[in-house]
Structure 1
Amino acid sequence: MGTGTGMRKWGPLVAVSLGVFMLLTDVSIVIVALPDIGAGLGMDFDGLQWVLDGYALALAALLLGLGAAADRVGRRRVYTAGLVVFALASLGCGLAPDGGTLVAARIVQAGGGAAMFATAMALLNLAYQGRDKAVAFGVWGAVSGAAAAVGPVAGGLLTEYLGWRSIFLVNLPVAVVAVVLARRTLPESRDPGAGRLDLPGAVAFTLAAGAAVLVLIRGGADGWTSPAVLGAAAVAVAALTAFLLIERRAAHPLLDLALFRRPAFTGVLLCGAVYSAAAFSYLPYTSLWLQSVLGRGPMAAGLTLLPMSVTAFLVSAVAGRRLAGLPTAVPLAGGLAVIGLGGLLQTGLDASSGWAALLPGLALTGLGVGAVSPVLAAAAMAAVPPERGGMAGGALNTFRQLGQALGIAVFGLVLHRGLRSALTGHPDAVADPAATAHALSAGRPQPGLPEDLLRTAFATALDHTLLTAATTALVGAALVALLLRPRPVPATAEPVPTAARTPARR
C-alpha cells in the first residue's frame, strides 16, 4: 500500500485521534503544573480549582448540546471549528497575564474540546466499515487511554524544562496538523431527520452544573450560609428543575428522561461519574503534596503518578476484550471496588511518609481503571434502544466529566478542612489556621512554618481526601452492582440475547 493510499485510508483516524488526544491530555496535563501556575499568577486555592474544574465542567455542560448541533450543521464542520477554538484558547492560556484570564481561556478551550469529543465517534463510524471500523475504534480507544497516561508525565516534563505556559502552547502545532487532515480526509455528514435544537435545555443544564460546582468551591471558603453560596445553590436548584421540566416536554430533548427508567442505563451513568471522581479527582491534591511538601519537581511528580496510568493501559489493552465478554456488572462494579481498594491502600500517610507510599495503591487503582474503561461506552450503548445510542454516548461522556468536576470540588473541600483541622490541633498551632490552610492548599508553604507541622498537616489532610475518594468508589460499586444485577425476563417476552446484555468491545 502506497503512502498516499494509506493516508487517504487512515487520515480520518489520525485527524480524529489527534484532536481527542489533545482534549483528553489537557484534562490531566495541568495536574503537576498547578504549584507553578499558582506561584506564577498569584492564584489562590479556589482559583487553581477552577483551572481544573472550569475545563471539566465546560466539557460536561456542552457535550450534549454540541453533539445535537453537529447533527444539524455538519459533524466535520463542528469538529474542525472545535479544533480551531481549542488552538486559539490554548494560545490564550499560554499567554494569560493573570488567573482570571487563564480560567476563562480554559473554559473556552473546553468548549472546543467538547465540539471534538461530541463528534469524534460519529465521524469514525461514517469513515470506516467492517474490519477497518473495528481497527479504527480500537486505535481511538487506545489513544484515549494513552492520553491519561501521558498527561501528568508530559505536563511535568514541559513544566520543569520549558515552564508551565508550554503545556498549553504545545497544542498549537498539533492542532494545525489536525485541522489540515480534517479538512482533507473527513467526510461531512448530517442527520436529515434531526429536530429542533433543544437550546433551553442546554442553557438550563449548564447553569445547574456550574452553580452546583460553585457552591462546593465557595462554600468551604465563604461559609455555607453566605449570600453568594446560598444564591448559587438557589440557581442550581432552579436550573435543574427547569432542565427536568424542559426535557419532559421537549419534542427533541437533549436527554430523554425516560431512559432513566432502565436500571442498566442509570447504573452505567452512575459508574461513569463515580469512576471519574474516585479515580482521578484527588490526583491534583496528591501532586500538591508531592511538590509542595516533599519537594519533588514537576517531572518527578508526574512520574510518581505513572503506575496508575500504565497499569490501566496494560489491563485495558490485554484483558479488555475478555472483560467485555463478562456480565456488565463484573467489570464495572468490580472495577469500582478495586479503585476503592486502591484508594484505601494509599491512606495511612503521616509526617514520615514519602512518595513511594503511594505506588502500590496507585497501581491497584490502575487495575480498576483498566477494568472499567474498555467496557463503559459499549455498556451505555447496549443499555438503550439503537436509535438512542448517540444520546447514550453523549450522556455518558457528560456524566464522566461532571463527576470529575464535582470530585475536584468535593475533595478540595475535604483537603482544606483537613488542613485547617490539623493546623488547629497541632501543638505548634499557627495563629490563623484557616488562612494558612488556604495558602497550603494552593501550594504556597508559609515562611516560618515548622517542617514537622507542614508534613503532618498535609499528610493528614491528604489522607482524609484519599479516604473520601475510596469510600465514594466502594459505595458507588455497591449501587452499580445493584442497578446492573440480572433481572428475570417476563414469561411473555423473548429472551434477551447475551450479546445485547454484555456487548463486545468496540
Structure 2
Amino acid sequence: MAAATAETPTDRMPILAAVCLAAVVLPLGFAGGAVATPAIGADLGGSPTAMGWITNAFMLTFGSSLMAAGALADQFGRKRLFMTGIAAFAALSLALSLAPTILVVDILRAGQGFAAAAALAGGTSALAQEFEGYARTRAFSLLGATFGVGLAFGPLLAGFLIASLGWRAIFLSGTIIGAIALLLAGKRMRESRDPHAVGLDWPGALAFTAMLTLFTYGVIEAPEVGWSHPIVAASLLGAAATLAVFIAVETRSARPMLDLTLFRYPLFIGVQVLPVATCYCYVVLLVLLPLRFIGVGGLSEIDAGLLLVALSAPMLVVPLIASQLVRWFSAGALSGAGLLLAAVGLFWLAHVDPAASGMAVILPMLLIGAGTGVPWGLMDGLSISVVPKERAGMATGIFSTTRVAGEGVALAIVNAILASLAEARLSTFVPQGGAEIRAAAQRLAMGDVHGAAAILPALPAAEIHNSYAVAFQHLSIVLVGITVVSALIVFALLRGDRASSPRAKSPDDTGFDSIKTGSAMS
C-alpha cells in the first residue's frame, strides 16, 4: 500500500530536491551530449550515423522504457525504482567518461536511457504521493523549471568542461550529481506502491520498444543508404506491424501498460499534444543549433554553449510565471498562445544566416524559449491530473513516454529531413553526385561544412554554406507549420471542459479543473 505522505514541508523538501536533481542531470546529459558530439567525433572518429547515435541511443531507450518503468514503480515501489535508476545512471556516466570507442559510447548511452527512465518514473510518481493539491501543482511546476535549468546550463557547462577538461568530464559531472540525489532520497523518500498493480505488461512493453526501435533505426539509416533501401523499407514496415501488435495487445490486456481508452477524452489527447509540440519547436534545436554554431559558425564549444543559453534561459523563469497565470487564464489558452509565440521565433530564426551570431540569433532564440516555456511549465502538472492518484505511475509514464519518445522520434525525423533537404540542394550543383552527394548531405546535417567540402572539393565553399542555409530555412518552415497546427489542436482540446475529464471530480478535488481556473490558488 502507499505510504503516508511526509508530515511537514521540511520533511518533503529533500525528496523534492532529490527528484529535481535527477531532473537537472537528465537534460544535462542530453543537451551536454549534443554539444560534445563534435569533440567526441574528433577524438574517437566515426561516421555521421555513429555520432548521431550518441544522442539517439539515449533518447530511444529512454522513451521506449518509460511506460514500463511507470508500471514497475507502481508494483515494486517508487523509491526503489528511483534509487536504482539514479544509481545506474551515475555508474554508466562514470563508464562513459572512460569509453575507448564510439561504439562503446553509443552502447553506454543506450544503457543510460534505461536508467534515466527508471529514475524519472520512480521520482515523479513518488512526488505525486508526497504532495497534495496546490502543493503538488507547485512541486511539479518546480520540477518543470529544473528541467529548464538542465537545458539552460547544460550546453554552457558542457562547453566549459570540454574547453578545460575534455568531453569526458561532461559524463563525470553526471556521476557527481547522481550521487548527491541518491544521498538525499535515501534519507527522506518514503516507499509507496499501487496496491492494485499486477505486474508489467511484457508483451505490450516489448511491442512498444520494438516499434520505436525499428522506426528510429529506419529514419536514421535512410539519409545514408536511401529511403528505398531494403533495410529502411523493412524497418519502417516492421514498425507499422509492431504498432498494430501493440494496439492489439493493449486492447485485450486486463491491465495494459497504456490504457487506450484514455484517448476517448479530448483532455487527455490535448495534454499529450503539448510535449509533442515542444519537441519540434524547442528540443530539436538543442541538438541542431550547437552543431550549427560549432560546425557552420566556427564557434568554440564554450561560445556555442553561451549562445545557446538564449534559447534555454527563459525556462528558468517562464514556467513559474505560467503556473501563476492560471489564476486568470485557462491552461489551454496559455499553452496555445505560447506555442504560437514560439512559431514566430522559429520563423524569424529561419531567415538568419547560419554563420551569424550575436543579437541576430539571440533575439529569435529568446522568443522561442519564452514561448515554449509557457506549456513547459504547465504540462507536467496537467499530466498527473488525468488519472486517479493511485495510478500515478501510469500517468507519469504515459506523459513522460510521449515527451521523451517524441523527442527521440522528432530528432530522427528532423535530422533525416535536414539531410534530405541538403541533398536536394547539393544535387542542383552536382546532378550526378550519387553517393558522394548523400555523404556530403549527411555531414551538412551534422553541421560539418568542412567534412562536406572535403567530400565535394570541386564545389565552392560558398555553395556548400548556402546549401546548408537553404536546407535549414526550409526545415524551420516545416517546424513552424507543426508548431502552429499543434497550437490550434491545444486551443480546441484543452478548454477545461469538466465533462471531458476521464474521471469525475468532487468540488474540492484539485485536478485539472483547479489548475485551469486557479481555484486552488485563489
1:488: Cα distance to partner?
9.5
Give the Cα separation in 1 of the matches to 2:163 and 2:439. 28
2:341 — aligned with what? 338
Q: Which amino acid aligns with 1:343?
A: L
User: Which residue, out of 104, 107, 113, partners 2:116?
Assistant: 113
1:501 — aligned with what? 513
Give the Cα separation in 1 of the matches to 2:183 and 2:437. 54
Q: What do residues 149-177 of structure 1 show as CA deviations (whole Å, max 9, x unaligned)?
A: 11111111112221111111111222222
Compared with structure 1, are the counterparts of its residues 468 and 133 closer, same or farther at alpha carbon in structure 2 (3 Å cutoff)? closer
TM-score by length of 2: 0.88
Do the aligned partners of 2:207 and 2:242 also contact (CA within 8 Å) in 1?
yes
1:486: Cα distance to partner?
6.4
1:311: Cα distance to partner?
2.0
Give the Cα separation in 2 of the matches to 1:377 and 1:353. 35
Matches within 5 A, 1:17-416: 17-127=20-130, 136-323=139-326, 325-350=328-353, 353-354=356-357, 356-384=359-387, 388-416=391-419
Give the Cα separation in 1 of the matches to 2:340 and 2:152. 21
Give the Cα separation in 2 of the matches to 1:502 and 1:209. 35
1:243: Cα distance to partner?
0.9
Give the Cα separation in 1 of the matches to 2:23 and 2:440. 39
2:439 — aligned with what? 435
1:473 matched to 2:483? The reply is yes
Q: Which amino acid aligns with 2:312?
A: S
Q: Which amino acid aligns with 2:443?
A: A
TM-score by length of 1: 0.90
Do the aligned partners of 1:20 and 1:116 also contact (CA within 8 Å) in 2?
no
Does the residue aligned with 1:305 lie in a helix, a strand or coil?
A: helix
Compared with structure 1, are the counterparts of its residues 463 and 135 closer, same or farther at alpha carbon in structure 2 (3 Å cutoff)? closer
1:217: Cα distance to partner?
1.1
Q: Which amino acid aligns with 1:439?
A: R
Q: Percent sequence identity over matched residues?
A: 29
Q: What do residues 12-68 of structure 1 show as CA deviations (whole Å, max 9, x unaligned)?
A: 223222222211221211222221122222122222222112212211111111111
Give the Cα separation in 2 of the matches to 1:130 and 1:163. 45
Task: Note the residue ranges of structure 2 that are not aligned, 5 or more in a row.
Answer: 1-7
1:481: Cα distance to partner?
2.2
Do the aligned partners of 1:36 and 1:164 also contact (CA within 8 Å) in 2?
yes
Do the aligned partners of 1:351 and 1:456 also contact (CA within 8 Å) in 2?
no
User: Which residue, out of 464, 467, 470, partners 1:454?
Assistant: 464
Q: What do residues 93-137 of structure 1 show as CA deviations (whole Å, max 9, x unaligned)?
A: 222222221111011011111111001123234445688766654
Q: Which amino acid aligns with 1:438?
A: Q
Q: Which amino acid aligns with 1:184?
A: K
Give the Cα separation in 2 of the matches to 1:42 and 1:417. 23
Do the aligned partners of 1:277 and 1:403 also contact (CA within 8 Å) in 2?
no
Give the Cα separation in 1 of the matches to 2:498 and 2:82. 43
Do the aligned partners of 2:224 and 2:439 also contact (CA within 8 Å) in 1?
no
Give the Cα separation in 1 of the matches to 2:141 and 2:490. 26
Mean Cα deviation higher: 118-127 or 229-238: 118-127
Compared with structure 1, are the counterparts of its residues 256 and 382 closer, same or farther at alpha carbon in structure 2 (3 Å cutoff)? same
Q: Which amino acid aligns with 2:90?
A: A
Task: Note the residue ranges of structure 1 that are not aligned, 5 or more in a row.
Answer: none
1:352: Cα distance to partner?
6.7
1:219: Cα distance to partner?
1.8
1:16 matched to 2:19? The reply is yes
Give the Cα separation in 2 of the matches to 1:267 and 1:130. 22
Compared with structure 1, are the counterparts of its residues 176 and 398 closer, same or farther at alpha carbon in structure 2 (3 Å cutoff)? same
Give the Cα separation in 1 of the matches to 2:21 and 2:43. 29
Compared with structure 1, are the counterparts of its residues 488 and 441 closer, same or farther at alpha carbon in structure 2 (3 Å cutoff)? closer
Do the aligned partners of 2:140 and 2:380 also contact (CA within 8 Å) in 1?
no
Do the aligned partners of 1:94 and 1:166 also contact (CA within 8 Å) in 2?
yes
Give the Cα separation in 2 of the matches to 1:462 and 1:423. 13
1:482 matched to 2:482? The reply is no
1:295: Cα distance to partner?
0.8
